[in-house]
Structure 1
Amino acid sequence: MVQWFETVAEAHRLARKRLPKSVYKALVAGSERGLTLDDNISAFGELGFAPHIADLPAKRDLSTTVLGQEISLPVIISPTGVQAVHPEGEVAVARAAAAAGTAMGLSSFASRSVEDVVAANPKTFFQVYWAGDRDRLLARLERARAAGAKGLIITLDWSFATARDWGSPPIPQALDLRAKLRFAPQGLLRPRWLWGFLRHGLPDLTTPNMALEGEAAPTFFGAYGEWMQTPPPTWEDVAWLREQWDGPFAIKGVTRPDDARRAVDVGATAISVSNHGGNNLDSTPAAIRLLPAIAEAVGDQLDILFDGGIRRGSDVVKALALGADAVMIGRAYLWGLAANGQAGVQNVLDILRSGIDSALLGLGKSSVRELVPEDLVVPAGFRREVTC
């Protein structure tokens, strides 16, 4: 119980205390001025609830189905790249998600293999970027399929903008002797983090899921280089990718109704309304402001996931009331992982579960599937949408 925390904000505080400065700053980064990053969080505070006071349900059902998988609460793990916050990385996260009865999103830039992660959580969705030629992409899909991944996510909302007004943290291309000497003072100031990695081996900053059979795993920057040198995909490319995957297929990064409709046209079974956690084009509005128009456009044609700024269970409920079927969390679970490993991730999911349940009770809802916009007080001018 000493390491138990009551809120995601407390997990954030512990993560900041325990992580080396560069690792922590990489987690909280937002592109350029951070306008989108800030709006992702503050926009939730503009939404109010309209609670009831009697005839409240004695029991509430938080379960739902997303991308063909039954989950115990409408929160799934968003795929994030190389995780240097804890030695077990994505495997610890996968176990925590499985213990909570929910699904795991695994990045192709992850530090642990898709085989290891699926073994830890069979409800794993594999995420790809449009990187390399079609043969290399297809090989990665075949590997994920053979490992047992239940769905595919293609991320299209990341420009890897490193120009940040507060300065980007230095990230070494590899932990060679020079890098170890450079970052040693930061590690020595965070002995618990350092000891954890010394026991299990220092992170090598490689991306095993980007390697084809017989290849060595490229470094993060090697994988990034392949992605940067690949021309951006067309909708025809996305349609081709969808044809190669015969299971659930999600497109992550939608912020406009017209793009949502194109996702339907290419056969996507889900979209994620997301601005990549404020790490794409700065000044894009908060994802929660964009969600209602997108849900109205395509909500009856595919699953809608929401990603951006979730810090408490009430945020989850607000997103569901505005049209999401489930939400994806990123920084919240990474803070839990940094604070207390697998148990810390489970702690974060328990906090969100409790907050969702409390909000349902106050709103008089017996299920997350009953939430509607009328459960919220939405101020004039809150929504943002592209007229198309």
Structure 2
Amino acid sequence: MASSKEWFETVAEAQRRAKKRLPRSVYLALVAGSEQGITLDDNVAAFSEIGFRPHIANLPQERVQSTTVMGQDVSLPVLISPTGVQAVTPDGEVGVARAANQVGTAMGLSSFASKPVEDVVAANPKTFFQMYWVGSRDRILQRAERARKAGAKGLIVTLDWTFATRRDWGSPPIPEKMDLKAIVQFAPEGIMRPRYVLEWARSGGLPDLKTPNLAAPGEDAPTFFGAYGEWMGTPLPTWDDIAWLRNEWDGPFAVKGIMHPDDAKRAVDAGATAISVSNHGGNNLDGTPASIRALPDIVKAVGSQTEVLLDGGIRRGGDVVKALALGAKAVMIGRAYLWGMAANGEAGVVNVLSILRSGIDEALLGLGKSSIHDLTPDDLIVPEDFTRGHRARALAAP
């Protein structure tokens, strides 16, 4: 299908449209990684090092993409990864959840989201609630119980974060709240992106940058920076803490941020029913290899004991197929759907998921596979040194 005003053909085009529509600070918050951006770049570039071994005859007339992840049936092996306060459109996470529900896949909702878990679950019953280790055990348990009561189908605990926000190209300014001072400060960006401002004005106002899912019962929702400050002041979790929370949550339980086989084993020992191989989209410890490089060793260590997911750098259906062939049960996407949302709202998220679905189908056809469950490493050409880390080019990046 050719691109049109309401349709884009690639995730790259969604990104270009997002850049044209979003204020500069909002766009930079979506694309930037920590420090030099080595990990950010490698997340995408690493996929290009893997090749396919295609077949040309006796190809399957139909290809199956449906699977089950954390107890939820999904129509394709692509899930929505939880991302923090979404100032992309007024619908935020609710619009993303509706899009995912329309396509038949699951939604990951951040505890730092801009919309309440109750509203998101109502939009997509296949919602997993994501948590950071913020506050006391009592407060953490309150959030988990709220998610359970709302109908969340699983819990995702994200552990990879070192609180480093430095970026060589500068970190985008984020206001504490959209008061008069902030409005004046960001007015030049708004003038350059009138469509964005008008959309928010029609919805009743500008983003308030609050985190309703981190509010204790009877309290107002904290601001993003208020919640972040509590997070920074919380003692770092131990594996015993994770095991405690897992015991308190009797449903599917995932640990996100795994990049080392030893941590994968510890997560399984703590009771995780799923793990996500992830480097936080290049926003954690810069110099960490691409998540796809870490995947084979982690699958080898724990793949038969838990569901292994992957996020980081997914831009095409072929990327999804490469991850599945290396042992992932499914992938999670972040920036890709946010660019789709920025480009065309809820329909843009559906558009991105449709692009990935088509790409997966094309790769399955080319490989002669009738199902994603038939994929193996033999379908790929992987360089011998692939899992050892970055290429010299990435390490030498300015």
Fold agreement, TM-score > 0.5:
yes
- Could you tell me how far apart the structure 2 residues matched to 1:276 and 1:77 are? 14
CA contact (8 A) 1:49 1:377 kept: yes
Determine helix, strand or coil for the equivalent of 2:387. coil
Report the CA distance between 1:259 and its aligned residue: 0.6
- Could you tell me how far apart the structure 1 residues matched to 2:103 and 2:267 are? 30
1:296 aligns with 2:318: no
Matches within 5 A, 1:1-388: 1-200=4-203, 201-384=205-388
Report the CA distance between 1:316 and its aligned residue: 0.3
| Equivalent AA in structure 2 for residue 203 of structure 1 | P
Determine helix, strand or coil for the equivalent of 2:309. strand
- Could you tell me how far apart the structure 2 residues matched to 1:380 and 1:192 are? 49
Report the CA distance between 1:290 and its aligned residue: 0.5
Over residues 179-210 of structure 1, what are the superposed CA-to-partner deviations in whole Å (9 max), with x where a residue is unaligned?
A: 01100110111011111100112110000000
Report the CA distance between 1:159 and its aligned residue: 2.0
| Equivalent AA in structure 2 for residue 275 of structure 1 | N
| Equivalent AA in structure 1 for residue 190 of structure 2 | G
- Could you tell me how far apart the structure 2 residues matched to 1:16 and 1:38 are? 18
Report the CA distance between 1:302 and its aligned residue: 0.7
Report the CA distance between 1:106 and its aligned residue: 0.1
Report the CA distance between 1:380 and its aligned residue: 1.7
- Could you tell me how far apart the structure 2 residues matched to 1:254 and 1:238 are? 14
Report the CA distance between 1:3 and its aligned residue: 2.0
CA contact (8 A) 2:176 2:224 kept: yes
| Equivalent AA in structure 2 for residue 34 of structure 1 | G
Could you tell me which runs of 5 or more consecutive residues in structure 1 were left unpaired when the two chains were aligned: none
Report the CA distance between 1:160 and its aligned residue: 3.1
Determine helix, strand or coil for the equivalent of 1:246. coil
- Could you tell me how far apart the structure 1 residues matched to 2:92 and 2:128 are? 16
Determine helix, strand or coil for the equivalent of 1:383. helix
- Could you tell me how far apart the structure 2 residues matched to 1:341 and 1:213 are? 32
Query: How many percent identity over aligned positions?
Result: 73
Could you tell me which runs of 5 or more consecutive residues in structure 2 were left unpaired when the two chains were aligned: 390-398
- Could you tell me how far apart the structure 2 residues matched to 1:27 and 1:275 are? 15
Over residues 47-98 of structure 1, what are the superposed CA-to-partner deviations in whole Å (9 max), with x where a residue is unaligned?
A: 0000001111000000000000000000000000000011100000000000
| Equivalent AA in structure 2 for residue 83 of structure 1 | Q
Determine helix, strand or coil for the equivalent of 1:76. strand
- Could you tell me how far apart the structure 2 residues matched to 1:255 and 1:351 are? 28
Over residues 299-321 of structure 1, what are the superposed CA-to-partner deviations in whole Å (9 max), with x where a residue is unaligned?
A: 11111110000000000000000
| Equivalent AA in structure 2 for residue 379 of structure 1 | P
- Could you tell me how far apart the structure 1 residues matched to 2:27 and 2:233 are? 28
TM-score (norm 2): 0.96
- Could you tell me how far apart the structure 1 residues matched to 2:108 and 2:388 are? 28
Over residues 213-254 of structure 1, what are the superposed CA-to-partner deviations in whole Å (9 max), with x where a residue is unaligned?
A: 100000000110110000110000010010110000000000
CA contact (8 A) 1:253 1:276 kept: yes
- Could you tell me how far apart the structure 2 residues matched to 1:185 and 1:197 are? 16
Report the CA distance between 1:46 and its aligned residue: 0.4
CA contact (8 A) 2:159 2:257 kept: yes
CA contact (8 A) 2:163 2:232 kept: no
CA contact (8 A) 1:159 1:279 kept: no
Report the CA distance between 1:384 and its aligned residue: 2.9
